[in-house]
Amino acid sequence: MKFYVDDELIDIDADTKPYGFGTEGQVFKIGDEMFKLYFYDMLDEGHGNKYYHHKDLTKLYPERIALPRRLIYSLDHNYMGYTAQYVDGDVNDNYGITLLSGDIFIDMISILVKDIKYLSEEKVLLADLKIPNTIFDKKDKALFLIDPGRYQSHPFDMIPSFDYEKQNMFQFNLLIGMLLKLDFGKYNPLGDEKKNEKLLAYIIDEVKKNNGSYLEFFKRVFERHENVNEYVKTLKREIN
C-alpha cells in the first residue's frame, strides 16, 4: 500500500499489522508517528470533508493534544488521513491519575487547559473527548488527548457569540470527571461501592463552587492533601 505524506512516498507492507482499528479506519505506527487511514466512506460527516478541517489543524501546535502533523494522500492525490504524534501509552490503561502527586496532577491539568484555550482562540471545536481518546504516558506522567479526527475549525463563526472556549472546557470537564470515576471504581478509596459512586457527584458540586474549574478546585485540595486519592478518603462523613 503506497501513499504520499507531503512529498514523501510511503509504503506499508501488505503483511504489516495495524496498530489499531476504529469505527472510522485503521492506524499504523511508523517511526514516531501514527498514521490514521480512513475508510473511504468515513471522510464525510455531514459538516464536510475531514480534509478541510485537518489541513487547518496541521498549522497548530498544542503541547499535549496530538493534532494531525501531516496529511496523507493516495497516489491519485485523494485525501486518505493524517499522521499524528506517537504517545507511549495504552488507551486501555488510563488508571492512576488520582495517585499522582499534587504538583504533577496540577501540571498535567494546567498544560491541557492551556492547550484548550489556545485551540479555542484559533476557533477549533474539540469533539469526541472520551476515555478511549486519551493516553497517559506513565514514564513522563503526562496525559494526552488523541484521535482528533472530528475536531472542527471555524465551522460556527456564523453563530452570533458562539463561545469556543466555553464549549471546549465543558467537554474537557466531562472527560476529567470520567477519568476520576474510573479511578474511584478501581482503587475503591472509601471502601464502599455505593459511596464511591457518589464521590464524583460530590466533587462536581465542589468544582462548581470554584467557577466550574477543576484546576482551581484541585489547587485548593493539594494545599492539604498529597493526591486526589488521599483527599477523597477524608470524605467518608460527607458522602452519605
Query: What are the structural domain ranges in the chain?
Result: 2-85, 97-233
Burial grade of 189 (CB within 10 A; 0-12, 13-18, 19 or more): buried
Burial grade of 46 (CB within 10 A; 0-12, 13-18, 19 or more): exposed
Summarised one tens digit per residue, pLDDT across range 118-157 is 999 999 999 889 999 999 988 888 999 999 988 988 878 7
The architecture of the domain spanning 2-85 is 2-Layer Sandwich (3.30)
Summarised one tens digit per residue, pLDDT across range 70-125 is 999 999 888 999 999 999 888 888 889 999 999 999 999 999 999 999 999 999 99
Q: How far is CA 156 from CA 110, 113, 124, 125, in A?
A: 26, 21, 9, 9
**Class of domain 97-233 as given by CATH:** mainly alpha
C-alpha cell at 220: 485548593
Beta bridge mates, 176? none
**Per-residue confidence (pLDDT) for residue 231, from 0 to 100:** 96
**Per-residue confidence (pLDDT) for residue 17, from 0 to 100:** 87
pLDDT band at 240 (very low <50, low <70, confident <90, very high): confident
**CA terminus-to-terminus distance, the chain:** 59
Using the predicted structure, report yes or no on whether residue 47 has a pLDDT greater than 60: no
C-alpha cell at 18: 495495524
Summarised one tens digit per residue, pLDDT across range 166-216 is 999 999 999 999 999 999 999 999 998 889 889 999 999 999 988 899 999
**Per-residue confidence (pLDDT) for residue 21, from 0 to 100:** 79
